[in-house]
Amino acid sequence: MLKMTPLNQTHRDMNAKMVDFGGWDMPLHYGSQLDEHHKVRQDAGMFDVSHMLPVDIKGNNVRDFLRQLVANNVDKLTLPGKALYSCMLTPQGGIIDDLIIYFLSETWFRIVVNAGTADKDVAWMLKQRDQLAPGLEITPRRDLAMIAVQGPHARAKVWQVIPGSQAATEELKLFQSTVVNQYFIARTGYTGEDGFEIILPAADAPAFWKALHAAGVAPAGLGARDTLRLEAGMNLYGQDMDETRNPLESGLSWTVDLKSERDFIGKQALLDTPVTQQLAGLILLDRGVLRSHQQVLAHLDGTEYQGEITSGGFSPTINQSIALARLPVQISIGDEVDVVVRDKKLRAKVVKYPFVRNGKVLI
Amino acid sequence: MSIPTQLKYTKSHEWVKPEADGTVTIGVTHHAQELLGDMVFVELPQVGRKLAQKEECAVAESVKAAADVYSPISGEVTAVNSGLESEPEKINQDAYSAWLFKLKPANAAELDGLLDAAAYAELLENEDH
C-alpha cells in the first residue's frame, strides 16, 4: 500500500499522472512536464512536497546537540526564522541525508528531511539524542503538509491567498522564514527560482492548494521538480550522494564547516580522507540525452580517467541535455569528455553549475 | 484516444501504415508516447539502411526515459521524418501523423503477422491489469 499525502485526492481530481515514488503515491505531472517546468521558470508553479518530513527538536540546548549532529555550523543561525542547509553524516563521513534546519528559538529547531530517508533519519537522531542530549524531545510531524510555491510570481500569488502574509514576508531574505497564523512560510526552494516553501496543517492543505490554483499557480509534478533542480545544480539524495559518498566529493564542501573548533559526527573522517572525486556539471555538445549511470571518459596527458553521470536529463530552459557527474578531480571546467550512450560516445563539456538561476541560463 | 483501424501494430507499440505505392510508414503509438511523456529527442535510421524484422533502428527519448524503436518488418529505409529531430513534441501532439520512417518491405507477407487495431486494443487492455 502506497503512502499518500493529504493532497492525494486533490491531485487525482486534477488529472495527475501518479507514480510510486519511494513508496509514496505522488504526481509525476498533470499533463505536460515541460509546460510545468516553463511555468515555474516564467510565472509560478506549486509542488506537493508533503512526503518530506518536518522534525521538531525541542528542549534546552537544542543548538548544542545540532552542533554535533550535522556538518554545517548551526552557530550561523542567529536570527529566529533563519534556515541552514546541511548534511547529516555517518562517523565515516557518508551522507545520511541532506536537510534544512530552521532556527525558531533556542528551545525549538525544525529540521525538514527527505521522504525516502525519513525513517532512518529519525532513528539516527533519536540514537544520537539518547547519547548526547537525552533531555531533548524529537517529534516527527506527519500531521503537517508542505507545499512549495516557486517562480518569479510565486510570492505575489501567495500574498493574494494568505491574508496578511505580504506584510509578514515581504522583507524575508533567502533562507529566512516566519509564521503567519497556521502557515509556516520559508523563502526556500528546490528550483532555482524565488518562492516559498509553506508548511501547514494537513487538513488545510487541499483548500490552500485550490486557492493557489485559483490565483493562477500551476500544479507541477515530480518530473518538473527534477528537471528544475537539475538546472539549478541542486543535489538529489540517492542519486548525487548517499551514505557511500561524503559531501566534499559531492559538490557540498560549502555546506561543511571544518574551520571552527567544533567537533561533529563524521568530521575526523573528512579530515583524514583525501578528496579524489568531484561533482561536476556537463553539457552535451552532440545530440542526445544524458542519463544517470552513463559512463564518462576523459583523456588528459595520455591518461584515461573514468567517471559517471549521477543525474542527467534534458534541460527545457537550455534546450540541450545537461548532467551532474562524479569525475576524478584531475578533470577541470572547460575540458571535453566522452559519455557512453548506448553504442556511441557523445561529446560533452565540463561546465560550472548551476546551469540556470532565476530564469537565466548561466553557462 | 481511439486506435486507428486502418493501421497495423506491434507488441512493442509501433504503428505501421501500408501505403498505395507498396511502401510502409512507421511510427510509435499514442499509448507509447503517453507512457513516455514529453518527447525531447529522436534518433532516426539512415536512409538506405536495410533492417531486419524487430531490429532496433531508432530511439525516442522523453524527459523521463529512452525507448528503442524496433522495425516492425524487414526492409530498406526509403525516407525519414527529419523534422522530428527539431520538433520531437509532434509525437506527443499526434502520434499517428508524426511518422518516423518509411520502409520498402523485403517481404510483404510479414505485414500479415502484425496486430490489427482490435488485437492491439486487447494488448493494451491486458497491460493495464
> How far apart, in whole angstroms, are the C-alpha atoms of residue A223 and residue A318?
17
Q: Is the dihedral of CA A179, A133, A139, A239 positive or negative?
A: positive
Q: Is B54 exposed, middle or buried (0-12, 13-18, 19+ CB in 10 A)?
A: middle
Q: Is A221 part of the contact surface with chain B (CB cutoff 8 Å)? A: no
Disruptive mutation site among B31, B38, B46, B64 for chain A (greatest number of A CBs within 10 Å): B38
State whether A33 and B64 contact (CB < 8 Å). yes
pLDDT of residue B1: 65
Average pLDDT for residues A164-169, to the nearest whole number? 97
**DSSP code at position A74:** G
Q: For residue A77, what pLDDT is reported?
A: 98
Whether B6 maps to a domain, the answer reads: no
Residues 268-307 of A with CB under 8 A from B: 287-289, 291
Residue B28 lies in a domain: yes
- Which ipTM was obtained for this model? 0.88
CA A92 to chain centre: 23
**Whole-number mean pLDDT of chain B?**
95
Domain hosting B16: range is: 12-127
What SS3 string covers A83-109? EEEEEEECCCCCEEEEEEEEEEECCEE
Model confidence at B18: pLDDT above 90: yes
Grid-cell match 519511494, residue found: A22
- Please tell me the distance from the alpha carbon of residue A262 to that of residue A306, in angstroms, as a whole number: 36
> How many percent of chain A have pLDDT more than 90?
99
Q: How confident is the model at residue B117 (pLDDT cuts 50, 70, 90)?
A: very high
Q: Is the pLDDT of residue B128 over 90?
A: no
Helix (H) or strand (E) holding A325: strand A320-328
Digit-coded pLDDT (tens) for A104-123 = 999 999 999 999 999 999 99
Beta bridge partners of A299: A304
Q: What is the pLDDT of residues A194-232, one digit of tens each?
A: 999 999 999 999 999 999 999 999 999 999 999 999 999
Classify residue B2: in a domain, yes or no. no
Residue contact A287–B41, C-beta within 8 A: yes
pLDDT at A343: 85
Is the pLDDT at B129 greater than 90, yes or no? Answer: no
What residue in A sits closest to B41 (Cα-Cα)?
A288
Report CB contact under 8 Å: A223, B63. Answer: yes
Asked if residue B66 is part of any domain, the answer here is yes
Which phi and psi angles does A334 have, rounded to 5°?
100, -20
Taken in order of first residue, the domains within chain A and their CATH numbers are: 276-361 (2.40.30.110)
CB A89 within 8 Å of CB A71: yes
What's the mean pLDDT in A244-257? 98
Average pLDDT, integer, range A224-247: 98
The tens digit of pLDDT for each residue in B28-54 reads: 999 999 999 999 999 999 999 999 999
Q: Residue B118's domain is classified under what CATH number?
A: 2.40.50.100
Q: Specify the pLDDT at position B20.
A: 95
CA distance B63 to chain A (A): 6
Residue type, A83: A
- Does residue B110 fall inside a structural domain? yes
pLDDT tens digits, A267-294: 999 999 999 999 999 999 999 999 999 9
- At B92, list the grid cell: 506527443
**What's residue A351's pLDDT?**
98
Q: Is residue B18 part of a domain?
A: yes
Reported as a single tens digit per residue, the pLDDT across A21-38 is 999 999 999 999 999 999
Instruction: Name the residue facing A29 among B37, B61, B89 (closest C-beta).
Output: B37
Residue B60 forms part of a structural domain: yes
Q: Which three cell numbers stand for residue A50?
A: 508533503
- Chain A nearest-CA distance from B67, in A, is 11
Proportion of chain A above pLDDT 70, given as a percent: 100
CB nearest A223 (choices: B59, B64, B89): B64
Note whether residue B4 is domain-resident.
Answer: no
Which amino acid type is present at position A331?
I
For residue B66, give the nearest of A29, A32, A289 by CB distance: A289
Residues of B within 8 A of A321 (CB-CB) are 41
Distance from CA of A103 to the nearest CA of B (A): 37
Q: CA angle at residue A89 from A94 to A60, to 5 degrees?
A: 175
Angle between the N-to-C axes of helices A62-69 and A118-132, in degrees from 0 to 180, rounded to the nearest 10: 120
Residue A344: the pLDDT is 93
- Counting the structural domains of chain B, the total is 1
SS3 track for chain B: CCCCCCCEECCCCEEEEECCCCCEEEEECHHHHHHHCCEEEEECCCCCCEECCCCEEEEEEECCCEEEEECCCCEEEEEECCHHHHCCCHHHHCCCCCCCEEEEECCHHHHHHCECHHHHHHHHHHHCC
pLDDT of residue B127: 83
Taking the C-alpha atoms of residue B75 and residue B69, their distance in angstroms, rounded to an integer, is: 15
- Chain B residues closer than 8 Å to A344 by CB: none
